């Protein structure tokens, strides 16, 4: 069972990046996938979440309107399109899988959440 985030990098303010979260070893459509980010010294925060059937989507206030989450269960991949990036978006981004429904209601992980490795996003001013 594995989640692997990729697609991070260095981008200028106002630029875009698309992150990918590739799943292996389990059936993706049974799980909500959340995107979280963490800056050193700060708590990990929810960025976005998409339910297994894409019926429920959640965004943090700081990302709504700029970020778009999508998924392709057949290809076992979830995307986070990030537009209009600013330096406050600089962080390590993680994807996470959860079999429940609360992550996509409040953007918070639960005791059942699995974490993938992160990918670093750096936005220069």
List pLDDT tens digits, range 32-77. 999 999 999 999 999 999 999 999 999 999 999 999 999 999 999 9
| H helices present in the chain, as ranges | 103-106
Q: Would you call 34 helix, strand, or coil by DSSP?
A: strand
Distance (Å, rounded) from C-alpha 69 to C-alpha 49?
7
Torsion sign across C-alpha atoms 74, 16, 10, 104: negative
What is the pLDDT averaged over residues 83-89? 98
Residue 113 has pLDDT above 90, yes or no: yes
């Amino acid at each position: 069972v594995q989640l692997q985030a990729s697609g991070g990098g260095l981008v200028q303010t106002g630029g875009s990046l698309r992150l990918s979260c590739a799943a292996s070893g389990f059936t993706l459509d049974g799980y909500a996938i959340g995107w979280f980010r963490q800056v050193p010294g700060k708590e990990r925060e929810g960025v976005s979440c998409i339910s297994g059937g894409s019926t429920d989507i959640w965004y943090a206030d700081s990302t709504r309107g700029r970020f778009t989450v999508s998924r392709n269960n057949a290809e076992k991949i979830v995307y986070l399109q990030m537009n209009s990036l600013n330096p406050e978006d600089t962080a390590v981004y993680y994807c996470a899988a959860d079999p429940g429904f609360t992550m996509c209601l409040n953007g918070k992980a639960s005791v059942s959440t699995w974490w993938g490795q992160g990918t670093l996003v750096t936005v220069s001013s």
